[in-house]
Structure 1
Amino acid sequence: MKVYISGLYSGTSPQPGIGLSRSLRIAYPDATLVGVEYSNRSSGIHWLGFDELWLQRPWEELDLPAYGQLITELLDGGALWISGTDLEALWLASVFPDGHANLLSPPAVGLSRITKPGVEAHKGLPLQIPPFVSTDHSDWDLHAFCRKHDWRVWLKGPYYEAVRTKSWDQFEAVRSALAKVWSTQRLFLQAHVSGYEESVMLAAYKGELLGCVSMRKRELTEDGKTWAGDVTEVPEAFAASLREIIRDINWSGGAELEMIKDPEGQRWLLEWNPRFPAWVHGATIAGCNLPAMLVEAATGIPAEKTTAQSEEFTRVVLEVPVRARYPLPPLPEPYAG
């Protein structure tokens, strides 16, 4: 079995690739795990849990049609692919609009139902969507929205990217930057919600919910990313509704629903991410190996048992040896003076 895993960035806003490799190694110790990355500056390429590395050119320099043909040949040849980045998952859905048996990533119809800010697919879940306004509105209306919410607002892209904007000057600067990233002015402002941060992570294959877990963020980084958390079962009422939604949108792959639980107990859905989160191995530590469930469903090969170690997890910083084929980049020239 060969599994290609993308999303190896391991900096302050990490991607799930390293966690995916750790979880799959427990379940399939003899599998060949291939790390896929688009930058030789990503420290995750040096993770020893990958048997092979597939280093590509930066995304903006790729010949995407040719790259799509390469991936098609890999999948047709029996390899599996788990996408760990939003941008790649969106592109793969355009290459395989109806999915592929070995592509463990959502099809186009599923992605169309999780577009922010409305996240159509959430209907039926006990979740609310925070107030929002499209940047298609006039600057006068946008300024009024910001004032109404006392400048406690976020500017967001249609699928990912969210920046807190506390002034009009900051809003204009961020709007310009995000418009370049997405090649569109169709962004949106959303009101900030105070409360406890929670997530539900799931794995599904061809519309069947394979498993899901709930996680409360207990420690955060300065960027608001998970550093530590506790993992529990998803309440059955929530899971039952989620199961129907997954079937309706024919979801395949991992996903994360990011939420805020306010002081009154109401949960607000912020995002539905189309891939596993970076804390994916935290759930495996708690005994719920969702990547293994996904691979087992796709291949029919039984996964080895995952033993629960703790309901809580935290992160540490590790030093690892650099791969000889990919030495560190040279030092930059010092600035004059």
Structure 2
Amino acid sequence: MNETKQHLTVAVTGLNAIDSPGPGIAVIRALRDGFPKPIRIIGLSYETMEPGIYLHDVVDKTYQITYPAAGTEALLNRLKYIHEKEKIDVLIPNFDAELYNFMKLAPTLKSMGIATFLPSFEQFDARDKMHLHQFGLKYGLSVPADKVIYGVDELYTCAELLGYPLVVKGKYYDAVVAYTMEQAQKAFYKLTAKWGYPIIVQQFINGNEINIAVLGDGKGNATSTIPMKKLYITDKGKAWAGITLEDDTLIALAKTFVQATKWKGGCELEIMRTPEGIPYIMEINPRFPAWIYLTAAAGQNQPAALAKMALGEDVPPYIDYEVGKIFIRYSWDHITDVNEFQQISGFGEL
């Protein structure tokens, strides 16, 4: 942080606190808990209806940024404008689809005085859905069999190889469990329309859903690992309630992943534990999950630790956390004024 400044300025994406929430608001809550005041939060939004834009007790100022498809040059130009006004110290992106651009710009942002703490392209690709099964084979981790497809007709081969039900996954987000070919085809068209090609078709694993929030230091060490069991799941497969677990097997699994990849930054391991106790890695998300505030509540504030590491501070690995800590997500009607909506829509900042 610039020593002449009296506060830390952190820019955060993922302000869409909706029924399928982005991690941004939870990251911001953790940051405010983890740093002595004052801290200034700059929201970076894509849509005008992202609720975080209008939560002024959470986000101090919001700027719209270009969509990932616009490329790195457009994003950099916008960030230069924002940085000129706000003097950003740390930037924390929270969407899978935007990470490539931010990773590519990380050296340039560093030269501007904006710190990030992101995985390398090699690390990012190793855990990609399209390579996950091979990654599991390489490091002796249990990962369901899968097949990457580009045409709907390939679903018949998937059904023969993997059996029903099939898990049909989008390139970036969303997954549908299909029990028939008709359901699989419907999911294929829905997910390609939303996320494009390819589609990943995965073997279905029956068991209990567990997620692990992980923070890697980029040198092979896990600074923090917090396992969470889903207590309530929405129709979109999102955890609406969860509880921290004490489980050495899950923590060892997360540490194996970090050691194998030398993961740098936050990530989430989506686990399905079978009735026999085998933890299958279903997916590895390369950023903080939407429930990341639970790590702060349990005693391992991962967003705050990441920000400190981005600034060059040495953060020793956490040892203990509170087991049995529960989060329960809820919704409420936030009231704002049409003038604020017009301001963000017309001028791209609020």
TM-score normalised by length of structure 2:
0.79
Deviation, structure 1 residue 245: 4.2
The answer to whether 1:91 aligns with 2:101 is yes
Match of 1:52 in 2: 61
CA distance in 2 between partners of 1:124 and 1:234 (Å): 24
**Secondary structure of 1:316's match?**
coil
The answer to whether 1:151 aligns with 2:160 is no
Deviation, structure 1 residue 229: 1.0
The answer to whether 1:258 aligns with 2:270 is yes
Deviation, structure 1 residue 317: 1.9
Distance 1:63 1:127, change over 3 A: closer
**Secondary structure of 2:263's match?**
coil
Distance 1:99 1:78, change over 3 A: closer
Distance 1:189 1:292, change over 3 A: same
Match of 1:332 in 2: none
The answer to whether 1:197 aligns with 2:205 is no
> Contact 1:194–1:260 at 8 Å: present in 2 too?
yes
Amino acid at match of 1:4: A
CA distance in 2 between partners of 1:263 and 1:88 (Å): 36
CA distance in 1 between partners of 2:129 and 2:137 (Å): 13
CA distance in 2 between partners of 1:297 and 1:97 (Å): 16
The answer to whether 1:9 aligns with 2:20 is no
Match of 1:169 in 2: 182
Unaligned runs of 5+ in 1: 330-337
Encode CA deviations 1:232-276: one digit per residue, 9 max, x unaligned. 3552x6545644643553432210000111111111111100110
Give the superposed CA RMSD.
3.5
The partner residue of 1:26 within 4, 20, 33 is 33
Deviation, structure 1 residue 107: 2.1
CA distance in 1 between partners of 2:131 and 2:169 (Å): 12
Deviation, structure 1 residue 151: 3.1
> Contact 2:227–2:250 at 8 Å: present in 1 too?
no
Aligned 1:1-337 pairs, distance under 5 A = 1-28=8-35, 29-47=37-55, 48-57=57-66, 59-60=68-69, 62=70, 64-71=72-79, 74=83, 79-96=89-106, 102-119=115-132, 120-122=134-136, 127-135=141-149, 139=153, 142-146=155-159, 151-184=164-197, 186-207=198-219, 208-233=221-246, 235=248, 239=251, 242-243=254-255, 245-300=257-312, 311-322=325-336, 325-327=339-341
CA distance in 2 between partners of 1:323 and 1:241 (Å): 48
**Secondary structure of 2:340's match?**
coil
Deviation, structure 1 residue 98: 10
Percent identical: 24
Deviation, structure 1 residue 44: 2.2
CA distance in 2 between partners of 1:317 and 1:182 (Å): 26
> Contact 2:16–2:22 at 8 Å: present in 1 too?
yes
**Secondary structure of 1:115's match?**
coil
TM-score normalised by length of structure 1:
0.81
Distance 1:234 1:21, change over 3 A: farther
Amino acid at match of 1:32: R
Amino acid at match of 2:275: P
Amino acid at match of 1:68: L
Amino acid at match of 1:13: S
> Contact 1:260–1:267 at 8 Å: present in 2 too?
yes
**Secondary structure of 1:189's match?**
strand
Match of 1:333 in 2: none
CA distance in 2 between partners of 1:88 and 1:244 (Å): 26
> Contact 1:4–1:82 at 8 Å: present in 2 too?
yes
Deviation, structure 1 residue 287: 1.7
Distance 1:320 1:177, change over 3 A: closer
Distance 1:315 1:179, change over 3 A: closer
Deviation, structure 1 residue 59: 5.0
Amino acid at match of 1:265: G
Amino acid at match of 1:281: Y
Amino acid at match of 1:162: A
- Count of equivalent residues: 323
Encode CA deviations 1:66-122: one digit per residue, 9 max, x unaligned. 2124447849x6521111111111332243489958113322111111011442555
Unaligned runs of 5+ in 2: 1-7, 316-320, 344-350
Distance 1:223 1:160, change over 3 A: closer
Distance 1:288 1:64, change over 3 A: same
